[in-house]
Amino acid sequence: MNNHGHASMFSATLEDKLGSARHVAVLTGAGVSAESGVPTFRTGGEGLWARYNPTELATFEAFSRDPDLVWRWYSWRRGIIRGVKPNPGHYALAEAETLFPRFSLITQNVDNLHRRAGSTDVHELHGNIERSRCLDCGLFFVEDEAPPSEHVLHCTCGGMIRPDVVWFGEILPETELLFAQTEAQRCDLFLTVGTSGLVYPAAALPLIAKQSGAYVVEINPEPSAIARELDECISGASGAILPLLIDTARRLRTSA
Ligand code: BJW
Ligand code: ZN
């Protein structure tokens, strides 16, 4: 029994929403991939990367100042991402697609792990680490299995190639941001998972959902910067909590 008086780890309100919600929206951040072995932004990496603040490398200024350094950081991360697997949190979100009449998965992550876990409709707010583009002619490149480069690559036109991700001070992809904001306004249940709630405009999505009347639940081992403004915070790792949550939803929705 929990403190809500029934045999579940979730509150009665959340169980009610899991059983009845018609539209569920989920925002994920780096924490959802932490259990796969992908370093988060604010807990850092190892080696060379322990000497840099990752959030200071994710800027156009850093790339202009030292393109090789920023390129090496992305090559290192691509290597990690290729070597890891989705975790039970990613798989639970892939299954969630089949449980609710409408389900929207919005991610700040660039690591492809949601798609690799089987999610078919992933809305990426901060781009994708496997994609690059030429600064000069705009040509896109998709990473093949070539060994990661230590130096910034150049396009056939001579321009420098940058990762097709969104750095600080840059505009998010317009259609994906608009989609995310609309889904936040329209959903009944919004989950914010593994994100520090520090980086805008993504961090505003749970607040938009709350203002629009959704029940907003955070899943994070630590309270995020916006935790106090939400309906409920579940303290724990997403790889442990999400499978339980989705199991509960499945049980409630198939036993009726
Ligand atoms: C676990 C776990 C487990 C651990 N299970 N959980 C409004 C107010 C203030 C500032 C701004 C504002 N609007 C815009 C800004 C400026 C800026 C901003 O937000 N700055 C703040 C930091 C102050 N935003 C921007 O610049 C954005 N652009 C923009 O707004 O354009 C319009 C504009 C332009 C110019 C001026 C003004 C407006 C762009 C933001 C782009 C962010 N880019 C990055 C890099 C992407 C590419 C790459 O991957 O390299 O995106 S930075 C980095 O942060 C990355 C992430 O997606 C993002 C969020 O990080 P996230 O996911 O929250 O990760 P962490 O590491 O911070 O947290 C991990 C969490 O997981 C923690 O909470 C852990 O506890 C938890 N965790 N283990 C569950 N097992
Ligand atoms: Zn070019």
pTM above 0.85, yes or no: yes
**Whole-number pLDDT of residue 149:** 80
pLDDT of residue 4: 45
- Ligand 1, CB within 6 Å, residue ranges: 29-31, 34-35, 40-42, 55, 58, 108, 110, 126, 165-171, 194-196, 198-201, 220-222, 224, 237-239
Third-level CATH fold of 47-83+133-165? SIR2/SIRT2 'Small Domain' (3.30.1600)
Q: Which contiguous run of DSSP H or E holds residue 219?
A: strand 215-220
Show the tokens assigned to 114. 């949601």
Q: Is 6 a catalytic residue?
A: no
CA atoms within 13 A on the CB side of 57: 23
116 near 90, Cβ under 8 Å? yes
- Looking up tokens 């660039």, which residue turns up? 110
- Which segments in the chain show pLDDT lower than 70? 1-7, 44-50, 145-148, 256
Distance CA 10, CA 252 (A): 13
Q: Is 96 helix (H, G, I), strand (E, B) or coil?
A: helix
Whole-number Å distance between alpha carbons of 239 and 150: 33
Alpha carbon of 238 to those of 28, 51, 195, 242: distances in Å? 10, 28, 11, 5
Atom 62 of ligand 1: nearest residue by CA position: 29
Of 123, 126, 151, 154, which residue is the catalytic one? 126
CA–CA dist 54, 158 (Å, integer) = 28
Say if residues 87 and 36 touch (Cβ distance below 8 Å).
yes
Query: Position of tokens 């850092």?
Result: 44
Q: How far is CA 205 from the centre of its chain?
A: 13
Assigned architecture for domain 12-38+86-126+172-255: 3-Layer(aba) Sandwich (3.40)
Closest C-alpha to 114, from 101, 128, 100? 128
Q: Which residue in the block uniquely carries the two structure tokens 């988060």?
A: 40
Dihedral over Cα of 111, 62, 178, 245: its sign: positive
Domain boundary assignment for the chain? 12-38+86-126+172-255, 47-83+133-165
Residue to substitute in 32, 33, 38, 41 for testing ligand 1 pocket (most ligand atoms within 8 angstroms of CB): 41
